[in-house]
């Protein structure tokens, strides 16, 4: 899919604007605090995702006030033509044409994948960064995934509370078990797809890198048995620590190079390249499974890459044929083979 037109009003620091976009690569260039990430966030929201920095919905509204309220419009073409209208008040309300649409239904219609500066630590950072990569892909591939993950999180909190108060634990385990099995099945499929797509990320990736889901469990083949057996095996640990030690909340995406752990055998710059390659690989999975080209939103993605790393990244992006929106605070070398837009004080202008 391609975003061909956007309109925003009253969104963060962005000045009201209607903007046409072409296919291909777009670079948003501007000083710190100019509004580059806010533009990516507007695209992120109009493709069915929420606020970027874990903030509440009302924080998206311009805090200086906006007479007409906060609205976003996005027009998309490609595998399907559609127009999305977003109203942001206490909650986000979305319409496809003139009919209301839920975020979980919108996301697969206009698949977008985002890379945030925090994702640069995908390789050496905590498992939660890698789980986020899996969860975002799963939320696109399996529309009820986000809902089930939310239900699992709620059941997990109940279990931890029951542990604290020494209550009967069987009831919470019964709620968690089917959700855990389902989430694991989705994540196993997503990890496989990401692994298969890595070969297509071009010269960005050093040879021999592979990924596999490491479940937060004993790892038995049957997912049902795995949950119950792992829970039984961790009973003592659970009682000692007061938190549930088994389940998808303990999963990790293991990234290896041969038998070695990539966090140990690659320099920072190379770890950055691998992190971007994992995102591109997720995009390949979207393309293959959903038969739609994703839109990539890349925030400060060239940070810490040398000239050659940037060259390879740009090559890899061009090869995808996807529409890409990337931000940078400094002019990019080598030359950017697409449109460059200057962002200044919430204004966007072509250069």
Q: Could you list the residues that contact ligand ATP (CB under 6 A)?
A: 12-13, 30, 32-38, 59, 61-64, 329
Cα–Cα dist 216/198, whole Å? 24
Q: Is 302 in the site for Mg ion (CB under 5 A)?
A: no
Cβ(204)–Cβ(312) below 8 Å: yes
- The tokens describing 182, both together, are 């389902």
Considering beta carbons, is residue 61 or 75 the nearer one to ligand ATP?
61
329 binds, among ligand ATP, Mg ion, none (CB under 5 to 8 A by kind): ligand ATP
Q: Which stretch, 22-30, 32-40, 108-116, 330-338, contacts Mg ion (CB under 5 A)?
A: 32-40
135 binds, among Mg ion, ligand ATP, none (CB under 5 to 8 A by kind): none
- The tokens describing 60, both together, are 């998206």
Shortest CB 12 distance to Mg ion, Å: 11
**Nearby residues of 230 by Cβ (< 8 Å), 6 or more positions away:** 217, 218, 220, 246
32 binds, among ligand ATP, Mg ion, none (CB under 5 to 8 A by kind): ligand ATP
Tracing tokens 């892909």 back to the chain, one arrives at 137
Nearest Cα to 334, choosing from 27, 20, 93? 27
Q: What is the DSSP letter of 298?
A: E
Considering beta carbons, is residue 62 or 119 the nearer one to ligand ATP?
62
Q: Which stretch, 29-37, 60-68, 142-150, 176-184, contacts Mg ion (CB under 5 A)?
A: 29-37
35 binds, among ligand ATP, Mg ion, none (CB under 5 to 8 A by kind): ligand ATP
Q: Count other Cβ atoms within 10 Å, centred on residue 30.
A: 22
Considering beta carbons, is residue 42 or 278 the nearer one to ligand ATP?
42
Shortest CB 62 distance to ligand ATP, Å: 4
Q: Which stretch, 18-26, 34-42, 55-63, 72-80, contacts Mg ion (CB under 5 A)?
A: 34-42
34 binds, among ligand ATP, Mg ion, none (CB under 5 to 8 A by kind): ligand ATP
Considering beta carbons, is residue 12 or 159 the nearer one to ligand ATP?
12
Nearest Cα to 329, choosing from 8, 37, 125, 109? 37
Considering beta carbons, is residue 6 or 37 the nearer one to Mg ion?
37
**Nearby residues of 133 by Cβ (< 8 Å), 6 or more positions away:** 119, 122, 194, 253, 278, 279, 282
Shortest CB 40 distance to Mg ion, Å: 8
Considering beta carbons, is residue 45 or 231 the nearer one to ligand ATP?
45
**3-state secondary structure at position 162:** helix
* Gap between the terminal Cα atoms of the chain: 25
33 binds, among ligand ATP, Mg ion, none (CB under 5 to 8 A by kind): ligand ATP
For Mg ion, which residue of 6, 34, 37, 70 counts as binding (CB under 5 A)? 37
Instruction: Classify 79 in phi/psi space as left (phi over 0), alpha (psi -120 to 50) or beta.
Output: alpha
Tracing tokens 């979207």 back to the chain, one arrives at 286
Cβ(313)–Cβ(301) below 8 Å: yes
Shortest CB 71 distance to ligand ATP, Å: 14
DSSP character string of 93-130: EEEETTEE--HHHHHHHS-EEEE-GGGGGTTTS-HHHH
Shortest CB 300 distance to ligand ATP, Å: 6
**Nearby residues of 236 by Cβ (< 8 Å), 6 or more positions away:** none
Considering beta carbons, is residue 32 or 170 the nearer one to ligand ATP?
32
Considering beta carbons, is residue 28 or 262 the nearer one to Mg ion?
28
Positions touching Mg ion (CB under 5 A) are 37
């Amino acid at each position: 899919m391609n975003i061909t037109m956007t309109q925003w009003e009253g969104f963060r620091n962005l000045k009201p604007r209607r903007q046409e976009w072409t296919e291909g690569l777009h670079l948003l260039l501007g000083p710190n605090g100019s509004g580059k990430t806010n533009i990516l966030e507007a695209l992120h929201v109009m493709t069915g995702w929420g606020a970027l920095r874990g903030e509440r919905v009302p924080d998206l509204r311009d805090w200086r006030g906006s007479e007409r309220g906060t609205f976003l419009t996005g027009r998309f073409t490609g595998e399907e033509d559609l127009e999305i209208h977003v109203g942001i008040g206490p909650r986000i309300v979305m319409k496809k044409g003139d009919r209301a649409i839920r975020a979980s239904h919108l996301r697969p219609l206009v698949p977008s994948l985002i890379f945030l500066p925090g994702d640069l630590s995908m390789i050496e950072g905590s498992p939660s960064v890698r789980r986020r990569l899996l969860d975002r892909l799963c939320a696109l591939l399996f529309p009820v995934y986000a809902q089930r993950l939310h239900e699992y999180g709620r059941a997990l909190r109940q279990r931890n509370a029951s542990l604290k108060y020494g209550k009967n634990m069987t009831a919470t385990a019964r709620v968690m078990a089917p959700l855990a099995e389902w989430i694991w099945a989705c994540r196993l499929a997503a990890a496989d797809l990401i692994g298969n797509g890595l070969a297509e990320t071009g010269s960005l990736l050093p040879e021999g890198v592979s990924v596999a889901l490491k479940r937060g469990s004993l790892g038995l083949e049957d997912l049902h048995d795995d949950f119950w057996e792992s829970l039984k095996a961790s009973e003592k640990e659970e009682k000692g620590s007061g938190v549930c030690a088994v389940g998808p909340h303990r999963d990790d995406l293991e990234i290896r190079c041969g038998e070695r752990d990539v966090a140990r055998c690659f320099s920072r710059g190379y770890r950055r390249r691998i992190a971007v390659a994992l995102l591109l690989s997720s995009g390949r999975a979207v393309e293959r499974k959903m038969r739609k080209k994703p839109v990539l939103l890349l925030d400060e993605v060239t940070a810490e890459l040398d000239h050659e790393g940037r060259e390879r990244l740009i090559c890899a992006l061009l090869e995808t044929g996807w529409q890409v929106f990337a931000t940078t605070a400094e002019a990019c070398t080598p030359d950017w083979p697409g449109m460059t837009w200057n962002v200044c004080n919430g204004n966007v202008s072509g250069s």
